[in-house]
Amino acid sequence: MPDIKTVAIIGCGIGRSHIIEGYLPHPDRFRVVAVCDLDPARLAAIADEFAISRRTTASAEIMAMDDIDIVDICTPPATHYPLILEALAAGKHVICEKPLVGSLADVDRVIAAERTARGVLMPIFQYRYGDGAMKAKRIIEAGIAGKPYLGTVETLWKRTAEYYDNPWRGRWASELGGVLMTHAIHIHDLATFLMGPVSRIFARVATRVNAIEVEDCVSASWLMQSGALVSASATLGSQEEISRLRLAFENVTFESNHEAYAPGEDPWRIIPANADVASAIDALLADWRPVGRRFNGQMLAFHEALSNGLPPPVTSRDARQALEIVTAFYESAESGADVALPLAADHPKYRSWRPAA
Ligand SMILES: NC(=O)c1ccc[n+]([C@@H]2O[C@H](COP(=O)([O-])OP(=O)(O)OC[C@H]3O[C@@H](n4cnc5c(N)ncnc54)[C@H](O)[C@@H]3O)[C@@H](O)[C@H]2O)c1
């Protein structure tokens, strides 16, 4: 029998989806025992809906609860950094929504805090959790796909003025960025998960769809460390919402499904170069066991890692890589230069990528 981890959720927007998709399907592994939100009406609605008796508007009360194993942070982006540090200092395991924090300096401080913490931190990148993406990962890691050639990575979504009625959205100080930070970060993480790290980025950003401070259209050319090329584009002005990843390797071309919010799920098109490659893929995937979709799969993998004393399935280093890509996008768009990664502590945007900083 796996042991049951107790969970407290802070932030009851996407936090509700974490409960429904991530925790309730695994009653033998997780029990959500406390919820927190600054908004008393929202707090009461969620606590009542899921019969959670402990409810508070003060996150400090959550941190002080001795019997909580995991603090799951689902608050707006600019609040993540202090809450992560408080939860780690309180000895908790931490799950935190994207974007993890608001600068490379902050993510490095989080990584340093983890070294001495009792708990571990798992950033959310739930788009990895789908059978399509995970089968592609297994085929690539087995060496069947061969040399990576080229990828196209698209986030074509729609957001209207109504979406920006929520006051933290659309502003540098609270959203920390736009389509790059809040939306495309998922598929950019998925692209590096499958094609490896980025070496150089040339990017343009623009605000064309909504009257907001932050960008809502981006386009970039990436040179991967492997030598492969990736073209990444994202907009919040697409009349049909899709996410799409198409990756051409020497022996296999992969194309994700186009579901906007679950591109990692089956069906993926896995197109082999010839019959031998097809048989190698069939043999490799003969014992495939479904991974669980989105938060379901990611929370389950976290529980398995905790139970086996392994690192979390998504790490703060993965979040750092995603934030480094964001930083390079903004740097390139501002300077017109082709930006080399990794970005170290002496980079001008290391402490912040925000224009006002
Ligand atoms: N992984 C995904 O697919 C996904 C989807 C949506 C949102 N998100 C991320 O989740 C986070 C929250 O987004 P959302 O759409 O749920 O926002 P939201 O505004 O709908 O909900 C956030 C909630 O947090 C509460 N809150 C704010 N500060 C708090 C604090 N200090 N203590 C307690 N409660 C606090 C607010 O009252 C609000 O109810 C963001 O970082 C966003 O980028 C991720």
User: H-helix or E-strand containing 36?
Assistant: strand 30-36
Residue 208 confidence (pLDDT) above 90? yes
State if residue 79 touches ligand 1 by the CB under 6 angstroms criterion. yes
- Give residue 163's pLDDT: 98
Give 19's contacts (C-beta < 8 A, 6+ positions apart): 9, 32, 46, 50
CA distance 109 to 107: 5
State if residue 75 touches ligand 1 by the CB under 6 angstroms criterion. yes
Q: Torsions phi, psi of 243, nearest 5?
A: -120, 145
Domains 5-126+297-314 and 127-291 share a fold: no
State if residue 166 touches ligand 1 by the CB under 6 angstroms criterion. yes
**CA of residue 74 to ligand 1 center, whole Å:** 5
Per-residue pLDDT tens over the stretch 262-316: 999 999 999 999 999 999 999 999 999 999 999 999 999 999 999 999 999 999 9
- For the chain, what is the mean pLDDT? 97
- Give residue 11's pLDDT: 98
Q: Which residue has the tokens 């969970």?
A: 7
CA distance 34 to 244: 37
| Domain ranges (residues) in the chain | 5-126+297-314, 127-291
Architecture of domain 5-126+297-314: 3-Layer(aba) Sandwich (3.40)
- Give residue 2's pLDDT: 81
Instruction: Say if domain 127-291 classifies as CATH 3.40.50.720.
Output: no
For residues 190 and 264, the answer to whether their CB atoms sit within 8 Å is yes
State if residue 154 touches ligand 1 by the CB under 6 angstroms criterion. no
Positive or negative, the Cα torsion across 218, 221, 226, 228?
Answer: positive
**CA of residue 14 to ligand 1 center, whole Å:** 6
The residue whose C-alpha atom lies closest to atom 27 belonging to ligand 1 is 75
- Give residue 356's pLDDT: 62
